[in-house]
């Protein structure tokens, strides 16, 4: 089938690549000529496992094409995906200007019936706005064509995006058009094996489903972070509590890992956007407001531990930092906890010596060259001359470090772990201080630090 994807970002590119992989003919349209040129040379703008070979193989076989020519894109596809960004506005609500711009473009060039599919995460009611924009534009151009607007939200996770797209656990179709449903069922049939994963519903419910999924997951995390903070104060160990509650299948083990807060392009933005949308209909979304507030506070957690350990003075200290991306297997730094930590440390005169397996270039791009940021080639290199070690991201490569080496090179022999990678008893065998999130030993370490001072 002929498909066009507007927006070659994370969602658009992965979706386009997997559609091409199963045999559909895909044209990707983006306004960024540089991005298009690079993709044609095989240079993929994001780091995502498995994506580069998938895109390049399909490009070589002519099943995926890249262009800035929107007219060509509209002409090509009977199904037109909108996968452009919906960045937060100043007040946290989703900014729909890119979505609306694509809707106008589609109406401007369409010469036949089109199925317009919204993949971007958009507030409830956006499909109606897209319908209005397309209708108004068609009318102003004296064109009379029919079209459908479908909500088909994406649930991929960064770092596992290709697999999530290839093997979706559900495919949500928000449409009441039998014609559009039939076409989309055909489009997705290669992904709809074993059992029917397609759930058809009205368009507003589909739009809300996307926010509901992300907000539920963010709620689980903030809930656990709140409990972790309580566990610390009660002298309990959140890791035991986590295992204890996760064994109940109604709760489950997933997304109950406490840590230094959630980041990424989805959870922070989507929680905020739903809070703002709720306000727009005269409702205060109290749970979601709390989810956001708890996460905001949790991102300060490592900095608080460090300040408490050093009695509020980190000026001139060199802090080794492992992990910059918001989670492993991505170079994405959006809303990463590491950023909050680094910025706080810099405000207080510390020097950060950091390493990340993938996000070094991105860090450099965001912060540029500055004397208080040293990007090191290996995790070991960050340790030399450091006072303490901080871990912000749970990359596999950080899970079994050489603790003797840490003890030798980290002057104050202390680890601040924002992802609870180690057993506190193991760390103390090496004679290291260990602060983790919601674990009893963090409290003990804090107490012994203040007693010794």
Which residues form the interface with ligand UDX (CB under 6 A)? 154-158, 214, 217, 221, 255-257, 259, 262-264, 266-267, 326-327
Query: How far, in Å, CA of 445 to CA of 433, rounded?
Result: 6
What DSSP letter does each residue of 175-212 carry, written as one string? ---HHHHHHHHHHHGGG--SS--EEEE-HHHHHHHHHH
Task: State both tokens at 165.
Answer: 């797209």
Is 401 annotated for ligand binding? no
- 256 annotated ligand-binding residue: yes
Which residue, 76 or 327, is less far from ligand UDX as judged by CB? 327
C-beta of 4 vs 393, nearer to ligand UDX: 393
> Taking the complex as a whole, how short is the minimal distance between the CB of residue 228 and ligand UDX, in angstroms?
10
156 is in an annotated binding site: yes
In this structure, the number of other CB atoms found within 10 A of the CB of residue 358 comes to 17
Among residues 317, 388, 389, 306, which one has the least CA distance to residue 350?
Answer: 317
The CA distance from 129 to 126, in Å, is: 5
Comparing CB distances to ligand UDX, the nearer of 256 and 306 is 256
**Minimal distance, residue 448 CB to ligand UDX, in Å:** 28
Alpha carbons 245 and 267: distance in angstroms, whole number = 23
Q: Is 238 labelled a binding residue?
A: no
Q: What count of other Cβ atoms lies within 10 Å of the Cβ of residue 247?
A: 10
Place of tokens 């074993």: 194
Task: Provide the strand spans (E) within 30-136.
Answer: 64-67, 79-82, 114-118
Beta carbon of residue 375, minimum distance to ligand UDX (angstroms, whole number)? 21
Active site residue 266: yes
Q: Which is nearer to ligand UDX, 3 or 156 (CB)?
A: 156
HEC letters along 369-436: CCCCEEECCCCHHHHCCCCEEEECCCCHHHCCCCHHHHHHHCCCCEEEECCCCCCHHHHHHCCCEEEC
CB of 242 to ligand UDX, least distance (A): 9
CB of 157 to ligand UDX, least distance (A): 4
* 158 marked ligand binding residue: yes
Q: Coil, strand or helix: which one is 283?
A: coil
Nearer to ligand UDX, 107 or 172 (CB): 172
CA 293 to chain centre: 18
Nearest approach, Cβ of residue 328 and ligand UDX (Å):
8
CA distances from 92 to 220, 273, 276 (A): 21, 6, 7
Any binding-site annotation on 379? no
Q: Is 269 annotated as a binding residue?
A: yes
Q: Which is nearer to ligand UDX, 63 or 339 (CB)?
A: 339
For the record, the structure tokens of 66 come out as 């890249």
CB of 197 to ligand UDX, least distance (A): 15
Question: Is 313 exposed, middle or buried, given 0-12, 13-18 or 19+ CB atoms closer than 10 A?
Answer: exposed
CA atoms within 13 A on the CB side of 302: 34
Whole-number Å distance between alpha carbons of 433 and 30: 50
Any binding-site annotation on 257? yes
Q: Residue 148 or 232: which CB sits closer to ligand UDX?
A: 232
Q: Among residues 215, 260, 266, 388, which one is catalytic?
A: 266
List the binding residues for substrate: 155-158, 210, 255-259, 263, 327
As annotated, the active-site residues are 266
Binding residues: 30, 35, 86, 121, 155-158, 210, 255-259, 263, 269, 327, 334
Could you list the residues known to form a binding site for NAD(+), using ranges: 30, 35, 86, 121, 158, 269, 334
């Amino acid at each position: 089938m002929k498909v066009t994807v507007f927006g070659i970002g994370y969602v658009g590119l992965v979706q386009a690549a997997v559609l091409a992989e199963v045999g559909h003919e895909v044209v990707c349209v983006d306004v960024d000529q540089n991005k298009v040129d690079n993709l044609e040379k095989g240079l993929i703008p994001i780091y995502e496992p498995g994506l580069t070979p998938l895109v390049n193989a399909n490009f070589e076989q002519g099943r995926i094409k890249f262009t800035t020519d929107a007219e060509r894109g509209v002409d090509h596809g009977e199904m037109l995906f909108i996968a452009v960004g919906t960045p937060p506005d100043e007040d946290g609500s989703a900014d729909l200007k890119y979505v609306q711009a694509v809707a106008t473009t589609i109406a401007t060039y369409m010469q036949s019936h089109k199925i317009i599919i919204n993949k971007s995460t958009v507030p409830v009611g956006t499909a109606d706005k897209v319908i209005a924009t397309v209708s108004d534009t068609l009318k102003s151009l004296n064109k009379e064509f029919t079209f459908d607007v479908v909500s088909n939200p994406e649930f991929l996770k960064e770092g596992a995006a290709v697999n999530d797209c290839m093997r979706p656990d559900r495919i949500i179709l928000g449409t009441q058009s039998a014609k559009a449903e039939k076409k989309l069922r055909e489009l997705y049939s290669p992904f709809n094996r074993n059992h029917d994963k397609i759930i058809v519903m009205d368009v507003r419910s589909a739009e809300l489903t996307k926010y509901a999924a992300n907000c539920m997951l963010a709620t689980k995390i903030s809930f656990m972070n709140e409990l972790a903070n309580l566990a610390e104060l009660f002298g309990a160990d959140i890791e035991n509590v986590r295992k204890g509650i996760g064994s109940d299948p109604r709760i489950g083990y997933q997304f109950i890992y406490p840590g230094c807060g959630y980041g990424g392009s989805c959870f922070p933005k989507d929680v905020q956007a739903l809070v703002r949308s709720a306000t727009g209909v005269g409702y205060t979304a109290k749970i979601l407001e709390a989810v956001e507030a708890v996460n905001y506070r949790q991102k300060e957690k490592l900095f608080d531990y460090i300040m408490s350990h050093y009695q509020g003075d980190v000026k001139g200290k060199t802090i080794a930092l492992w992990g910059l991306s918001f989670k492993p297997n991505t170079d994405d730094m959006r809303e990463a906890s590491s950023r909050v930590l680094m910025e706080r440390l810099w405000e207080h005169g510390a020097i950060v010596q950091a390493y990340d397996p993938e996000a070094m270039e991105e860090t450099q791009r965001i912060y540029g060259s500055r004397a208080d940021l040293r990007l090191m080639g290996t995790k070991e290199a960050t340790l030399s001359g450091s006072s303490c070690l901080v871990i912000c991201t749970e990359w596999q490569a950080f899970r079994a470090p050489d603790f003797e080496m840490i003890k030798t090179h980290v002057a104050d022999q202390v680890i601040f772990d924002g992802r609870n990678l180690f057993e506190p008893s193991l760390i103390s065998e090496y004679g290291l201080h260990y602060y983790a999130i919601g674990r009893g030993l963090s409290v003990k370490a804090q107490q012994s630090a203040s007693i010794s001072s």
